[in-house]
Amino acid sequence: MTSEEVTYADLRFMRLKKSQDQELQTARGKDCPRPSSCWRLATVVLGVFCLSSVVAAGVLAARFILVCHLVCERDENFTLQKAVMESLNQQLELLQAQNLNLTETVKQLATSRGHKCIPCPENWLQYGENCYYFSKEWKTWQESKAQCSALESRLLKIESKEELDFAMRSAQSYSSSPFWIGLSRSGAEGPWLWEDGSAFSPDLFQIQRASPSPFLDCVWLQGANIDVARCDEYKFSICEKVVVPAVVEQISYLDRH
């Protein structure tokens, strides 16, 4: 082989190697971008990640603050309710103590210095908020009315079924004779009125009358019977007045012991 042929072969080999190196560099350039592009991409990704982290942290912080606020409000409400309950309990204890003191005071007043508190005068019966006096003196209706007035009372006015039952039972225990009550009328056709001028309600009881008469204009009761008679007839009577809150009566040594 001549020197020219050797030179030509070497030159061809060198060109082929250079061509292969260029193709290899081109392929490497396609597989991996330049360093500046890689850093730029990494920076963008890192920035997005940091921004997401900041947003998430902000949301969590806002939720945490809201929860803390709600917890604080709940604690404040609980503290306020506790204070109110303690105040109410103190007031209740104070009222109970005052009630106990008043009860003891009433007891002492009722028994001190040989006196006792009674709601009705002597020889009067108490029922509900009223005192009743069953007179066993024979008087006309008008005289009985005047007697009750002198006792600062009035003839009986029946206002309920219970009061009617009480009056009937008590009158029967006092006497088998009839008792005037405060119900009358003016004339045979006049309305039945109580002593204070109020109208009579037939729902309470029925007035038994055999026949109409201008003289039968006052009502009396005897046991379970209620009827009318002439007002100038003589009968017992029932007086009524409101209970006196604090009537004091002297009691004897034996009553106190």
Question: Given this model, what pLDDT does residue 115 score?
Answer: 45
* pLDDT tens sequence across 157-202: 999 999 999 999 999 998 889 999 999 998 777 889 999 999 999 8
* pLDDT tens sequence across 127-159: 999 999 999 999 999 999 999 999 999 999 999
Whether pLDDT at 221 is above 90: yes
CATH topology of domain 125-246: Mannose-Binding Protein A; Chain A (3.10.100)
Other Cβ atoms within 10 Å of 218 Cβ, number: 24
How is the chain split into domains, by residue range? 33-117, 125-246
Structure tokens at 101: 């003191």
* pLDDT tens sequence across 12-51: 656 666 666 666 555 555 544 555 667 777 787 777 777 8
Structure tokens at 166: 């009480």
Stated as kind and residue range, the H or E segment containing 180 is strand 179-184
Distance CA 197, CA 132 (A): 20
Question: Given this model, what pLDDT does residue 26 score?
Answer: 57
Rg (C-alpha) for the chain, rounded Å, is: 56
